[in-house]
A and B are shown apart, each in its own frame.
Chain A
Amino acid sequence: MNTKTTVLGQTYQFRDLKEVFAKANEDKSGDQLAGLAAADSRERVAAKQVLADLTLADIRNNPMVPAEEDEVSRVIEEGINEKIYSEIKNWSVAELREYILSHQAGDNELKRISRGLSSEMIAATAKLMSNLDLITAASKIKVVTHANTVIGQKGVLASRVQPNHPSDNVQGIKASLYEGLSYGIGDAVIGINPVIDTADSVKDILNMTKDVMTKFDIPTQNCVLAHVSTQMRAIRNGAPADLIFQSLAGSEKGNNAFGIDVALLDEADELMRKEGTSYGPNFWYFETGQGSELSSEAHHGMDQVTMEARCYGLARKYNPFIVNTVVGFIGPEYLYDSRQVIRAGLEDHYMGKMHGLPMGCDVCYTNHMKVDQNDMDNLGILLSSAGVNFVIGVAMADDVMLNYQSTSFHDIAAFREVMGLRPAPDFEKWLEKMGIMENGRLTAKAGDPTIFM
């Protein structure tokens, strides 16, 4: 395995794969914080050059986090289709990138090759792609999933309505929910981040959302994003959960910091098979985000793009209904400014889709980042053009519980209108029935939350 190259007259010798992978990344504050980033643009290019010439077998034969030490590595390793892998193992990363971007590789071909790739190989291609490469490649992959309803079709931009409330007041949650529905938002999921992480509280919110869904015959799914074990207790107590949620990290240690492991996810999966309330077969909702492993010192000396890809390697074991990266939430020490957030959003979406996942994105930022709403407009449009499965809808983008800004109900309506995209088909029919949408456009009634009162 060659880890040496010359760029502009200077020779670079990299220590190992981890160093090549990290230094090949576009500039991120998180890789700097971890002490892994390239010193300058020249070293970055050198690392990209070395990475381009590595073979897929080089990557697989030199595991950066050995399977013996980490269960996420084991899940990724066990998921690889040996037949497909053996066809491509001698390809260089450069060749894999070119195949992915070629006209010969369409939706089917990319889904097939995905099964022969490890998360690290997919991350490697992302490091050799420009933003437009990431959009081009991702836009070819359609991941259609089914819980109560179907989302992910070509031409569909679905949305999560996120009606959070600072004290989990059920009426308050309902108020934002009505507002969101009246803008045509909520076809992916009605999803609430609770303040109070108890089974009773989770059950109350699941019951309320289910009641609203039943009363108005809304074709969607409900979910409360408490810790998975809390949701499990609520479900065992009879709470109606269409989806079950959990945040994922790209290493066993990172997942332990979230209070989970593969055994717990398996147990939750089994419980949902027996007691979940949606049709399925997809009933998981996962969230990820670059930098979370470093924040729990669980990154094994690896860069945040590769760790993020490993989250997707774990997620695909469970055939989720939706996955999203909370790209701008983790903080400026991981993604400092709009340039880094936009890059990460496109990387995460591409890497998720290359894993065959129904990728969405929380296009978002916190107030201590060098980012504002204009940057979210940009990333939202870029992801819409890349075929993102869903984005997050918050009243005027301002989440009054989590204290950060995402995309608004208005923004999602605008993404759809500008990009010629539609809500999920079942949901659009329902919007027409309610008089909120006509021929893919909002009607004069849209934006009045009292139509649900």
Chain B
Amino acid sequence: MWKRAADPMELPLVLLIGLLTAVATWLMLSRNLIRLLLGFGVLGNAVNLSIFVAGRLTRDTPPLVPLDAETIAGAFANPLPQALVLTAIVIGFGLLAFALVLAWVAYERLGTVRTDEMRVAEPPEEKA
């Protein structure tokens, strides 16, 4: 279990996460597909920062084991969040790349990027 005092950088980072989340939510509420995807990108960064903060911010030595030792002496920074964030960034990048290409294809074939005008799969009730 965790037992460490919070680092002073925690509050600014948390505020930044809040700000990014607010911006992303605002963007994603748009009916424009491009804004929705931009919102996804911003929200992804907010979530990645949350992982980083969840791993605790500390001012310790880097998690590198010296050549002549088996373990690190003393406190060291938590390396796991960086591995998680790195994975999440790569996955988020892949998803965003696909989504952008999809938006482009949608614009080409459907002629719009507004989600409320995309009614091909679920057409409005047929007129009798």
Q: Do A and B come from one complex?
A: no
